[in-house]
């Protein structure tokens, strides 16, 4: 069964061009504004969402924030804005990738394929001791208590538990959490996110997230 892509872009020529580039491999639905996008999103399931940031009836960031409350469907932002803070903000809010117009349709097609490979390769839920983490439903629990995790905390947790028992370098974690935009991220940002996650997990003694000095961090295999 073909994967399904939602293209949200108000420029008809570009929207049509994206569909033309993807339709051989994927099923594609088109929306030219937020109203159409929400109508399609609410009645169907999509494997990847291509989301223009600036739309005639609203802001793509706001729609992405709404999606991320309940859904981890990969989102690739499409924008003409090269402002560094917009890039960081978009990734912090939960975007999986970010491409600046004008862009190569071949490159976009490759990035869509990467997101789909990531979905296929990675387990979406983990039951570890007192913890249950479901990254598809965005449900994180310790025993019967629900844990409220930010997007960066979720990404850190996912990378660590997927590689349980293996050390992950600070560079790898930073690149994964901030999706390749780590040149815009303060060098202490990762430490802050790790400490916040440990606090929420009740991991003051590093029973779960261990600091591997000179390397990075590891989720300890029990």
Let me know how long the chain is. 222
- Every domain range in the chain assigned CATH 3.40.50.2300: 4-121
Distance CA 52, CA 143 (A): 40
Choosing among 3.10.450.750, 3.40.50.2300, 3.40.50.150, 3.40.980.10, the CATH entry for 4-121 is 3.40.50.2300
Looking at 1.10.10.10, 3.40.50.300, 3.10.20.340, 1.10.10.200, the CATH number of the domain 149-219 comes to 1.10.10.10
Residue 67 scores a pLDDT above 90: no
What distance in Å separates the CA atoms of residue 2 and residue 15, rounded to the nearest whole number?
A: 20
The pTM of this model reads 0.59
Average pLDDT, the chain: 88
Q: Model confidence over 102-141: pLDDT tens digits?
A: 899 999 999 999 999 887 666 678 888 899 999 878 899 9
> According to the model, what pLDDT value does residue 69 have?
72
Question: For the chain, what is the total number of helices (H) and then of strands (E)?
Answer: 8, 14
Return the half-sphere exposure (C-beta side, CA atoms, 13 A cut-off) of residue 145: 8
């Amino acid at each position: 069964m073909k994967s399904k892509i939602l293209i949200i872009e108000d420029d008809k020529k570009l929207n049509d061009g994206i569909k033309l580039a993807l339709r051989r491999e994927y099923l594609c639905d088109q929306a030219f504004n937020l109203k159409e996008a929400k109508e399609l999103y609410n009645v169907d399931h999509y494997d990847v969402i291509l989301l223009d940031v600036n739309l005639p009836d609203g802001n793509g960031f706001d729609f992405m924030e709404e999606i991320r409350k309940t859904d981890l469907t990969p989102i690739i932002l499409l924008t003409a804005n090269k402002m560094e803070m917009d890039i960081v903000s978009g990734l912090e809010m939960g975007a999986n990738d970010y491409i600046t117009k004008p862009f190569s349709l071949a490159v976009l097609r490759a990035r869509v394929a990467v997101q789909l490979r990531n979905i296929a390769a990675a387990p979406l839920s983990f039951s570890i001791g007192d913890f249950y983490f479901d990254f598809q439903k965005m449900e994180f629990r310790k025993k019967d208590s629900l844990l409220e995790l930010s997007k960066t905390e979720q990404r850190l947790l996912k990378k660590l538990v997927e590689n349980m028992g293996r050390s992950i370098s600070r560079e790898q974690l930073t690149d994964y959490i901030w999706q390749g935009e780590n040149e815009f991220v303060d060098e202490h940002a990762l430490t802050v996110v790790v400490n916040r996650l440990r606090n929420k997990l009740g991991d003051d003694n590093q029973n779960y997230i261990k600091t591997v000095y000179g390397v990075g961090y590891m989720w300890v295999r029990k």
